Structure 1
Amino acid sequence: MLRQIGSRLMQALLLVLAVVVLNFALVHAAPGDPVETIAGVSGGMSEELKTELRAAYGLDQPLPTQLGVYLLKVAQLDLGYSYFFNLPVTQLIVERIPATLLLVVTSVLGAFFIGTTLGVLASRRPNGWLSQLINLISLVGFAAPVFWTGMMLVLLLASALPLFPISNMRSIDSSGGGGLADIMDVAHHLVLPSLTLGLVYLAQYSRLARASMLEVLGADFIRTARAKGLAERVVLYKHALRNAVLPVVTILGLQFGNVMAGAILVETVFNWPGLGRLAYESVLRRDYPTILGVLLFASIVVLVMNQITDLCYRQIDPRIKSR
């Protein structure tokens, strides 16, 4: 067990190192100069001051030297200072994590449970009208881009039917004290962005759950369970669903990185104050330390989610042994 844990930790560290190096190379290969961006925002800057800024940020050093300095800082859990916000990158990320986790977890869990339920319902009568309706909704949800879905929901549920707010996480007059009124206010603002991000994955989970359930329902052990006289509800939810849900759990873990990427678009559309919005603002301002910090955090989250997926696998199906 200890050897297994040590091996997985070593693999994770090597993967994080590779991700850090690749992110660093891609970010610095992108066009644009942070100092020129700062000069444009401030309304102009002398060449002497630009030279001083490049020296202060270490941008005057060769790229391999910059990479070495950055890797040393990351090893010391120091992600550097933001060029634009003039704050530690770690502080910026920590401040934005709760908003992004709230959005992502709500969207993913809602899509997982609702999508799996719809897939199970569709599998009971594959040729029935309910199954066809669920398939149609799934196809539309899967084909629609996230930003288009967000705009359509804004037009429908915020403009034509003014039911939900379209931006920010709280109302302007909210105290933010964490009481019941504040929780309800955040939940009210969460509906549209969470629904936008979750619809795409709900469609995927429902189609995958339907296909997996149809395959499992034709297995021998299901026929045996029915031959024993077990109730259809017991056969469906206790025996079939536990085996059919494994592919859905796999996709849930593997797609967490895609969810983080989709959160950038959703947070930008709805001005949600999370990591996606921070990444978008940092890209526009060529804020290298903040971009790299957000990418590193997202990579670690994906690694952790993969490990959690393995643990869930062992809980759902005890036959699966860790390797």
Structure 2
Amino acid sequence: MSPSLPRYIARRLLQSIPLILGILIFSFVLIQLAPGDPIMLLAGEGGDADYYATMRAYYGLDRPLPEQLLRYVGAILRGDFGYSFNYRQPVFDVILGRLPATLLLMGSALIFALTVGVGLGIISALRPRSLLDRSISVMTLTFTALPVFWLGQLLLMLFAARLRLFPVHGMVSVRADYTGLRHLLDLLHHLVLPTIALGLLQLALLTRLTRTSLREQLAEDYVRSARAKGLQERIVVLRHAMRNAMLPVITIIGSHVGTLITGAGERPGVRAIRGNPRV
């Protein structure tokens, strides 16, 4: 490993500290500006003034804002995310209970977008200006331009409500006692529509990025030299050009993970699954 790599990682981690603190302060300010009284929401409107004062003191809401901010940041750093007044349980437990469904859905959508998107990008790059290339370009532009909430609703109406090929909601069949392979197949059957609804936009972006990057690499001198040496086209593409063409694709995957997590709650084909985006 290069000696400069640890220094680079340490520098990037140090640079992220102000960003994280800024996000924490911004979220604290948003909570303070939110309408309503959290104590009234938690305790109800039937209590007296002494009870409300006791609750405020218990949660530290009677202290000055700078002190509340320090307590808030300290609790976050300790892993204490507070208590959810809506779900009536600790926030960490709420997130932890929905984390498996979120990771499963995000992983399936990312695998779908990567495999199909990169595959279509390679095919399109190897056949430039052909009918297949133009068809793939039109398809990716269409997926990029379509509103994701409308696309998810369309998938539900067509494949779930009308054709009845897939279930409308949930991750497993109701009242089913499947085990082993039948349980896995039932789970995959429920994941098809949410995976497509969540991964189509990422698929379109990865297809276009792969096509552009691979076309640039195929025009480089080292590719022409490999072809001049008599190497098979498959070896030239897969072992030489694709190795460099995948670098921007790998780089952008990180931003796609964040988009998959935060955007899952906006898609009707995903809302019925009890994952963290619904929290």
Q: TM-score, normalised by structure 2?
A: 0.88
Q: Following TM superposition, by how much is the alpha carbon of 1:188 offset from its aligned partner in structure 2, in angstroms?
A: 1.3
CA contact (8 A) 2:122 2:211 kept: yes
Q: Deviations over 1:149-199 (max 9, x none)?
A: 1101001110121011121222221348x6322222221111111110100
Q: Following TM superposition, by how much is the alpha carbon of 1:47 offset from its aligned partner in structure 2, in angstroms?
A: 5.5
CA contact (8 A) 2:197 2:270 kept: no
What is the 5 A alignment of 1:11-90?
11-37=15-41, 44-46=45-47, 48=49, 50-90=52-92
CA contact (8 A) 1:79 1:89 kept: yes
**CA 20–269 in structure 1, closer or farther in 2 if over 3 Å, else same:** same
CA contact (8 A) 2:41 2:85 kept: no
Match of 1:248 in 2: 249
Match of 2:157 in 1: 155
1:185 is aligned to 2:190: no
How many residues align structurally?
274
SS of the residue corresponding to residue 188 of structure 2 reads helix
* 2:144 aligned residue (134, 142, 145): 142
The residue type paired with residue 76 of structure 1 is R
1:164 is aligned to 2:172: no
Output the CA distance in 2 between the equivalents of 1:32 and 1:123.
55
CA contact (8 A) 1:168 1:270 kept: no
Output the CA distance in 1 between the equivalents of 2:185 and 2:137.
33
What RMSD, in angstroms, separates the aligned Cα atoms of the two structures? 2.4
Output the CA distance in 1 between the equivalents of 2:197 and 2:85.
32
Match of 1:295 in 2: none
CA contact (8 A) 1:111 1:198 kept: yes
Match of 1:296 in 2: none
Q: Deviations over 1:42-95 (max 9, x none)?
A: 6x5346355554444333433322211112222322222222222222122111
Match of 2:198 in 1: 197
Output the CA distance in 1 between the equivalents of 2:42 and 2:83.
14
**CA 68–173 in structure 1, closer or farther in 2 if over 3 Å, else same:** same
Q: Deviations over 1:192-242 (max 9, x none)?
A: 111101000000000111111111111111111111111111112221111
Match of 1:212 in 2: 213
**CA 180–128 in structure 1, closer or farther in 2 if over 3 Å, else same:** same
SS of the residue corresponding to residue 255 of structure 1 reads helix
CA contact (8 A) 2:153 2:267 kept: no
Q: Deviations over 1:10-60 (max 9, x none)?
A: 444443333222222233323344345557xx6x53463555544443334
Output the CA distance in 2 between the equivalents of 1:271 and 1:53.
35
Q: Deviations over 1:274-307 (max 9, x none)?
A: 11011xxxxxxxxxxxxxxxxxxxxxxxxxxxxx
**CA 32–249 in structure 1, closer or farther in 2 if over 3 Å, else same:** farther
Q: TM-score, normalised by structure 1?
A: 0.77
Output the CA distance in 1 between the equivalents of 2:118 and 2:17.
34
CA contact (8 A) 1:166 1:270 kept: no
Q: Deviations over 1:255-277 (max 9, x none)?
A: 32222111222378532111101
**CA 273–148 in structure 1, closer or farther in 2 if over 3 Å, else same:** same
SS of the residue corresponding to residue 83 of structure 2 reads coil
Match of 1:105 in 2: 107
Output the CA distance in 2 between the equivalents of 1:4 and 1:212.
26
* 2:134 aligned residue (125, 132, 135): 132
- Unmatched segments (≥5 aa) in structure 1: 279-323
Instruction: Give the percent of matched residue pairs that are identical in Structure 1 and Structure 2.
Output: 41
CA contact (8 A) 2:198 2:267 kept: yes
**CA 223–32 in structure 1, closer or farther in 2 if over 3 Å, else same:** farther
Highest CA radius of gyration, 1 or 2?
2
**CA 180–216 in structure 1, closer or farther in 2 if over 3 Å, else same:** same
CA contact (8 A) 2:153 2:268 kept: no
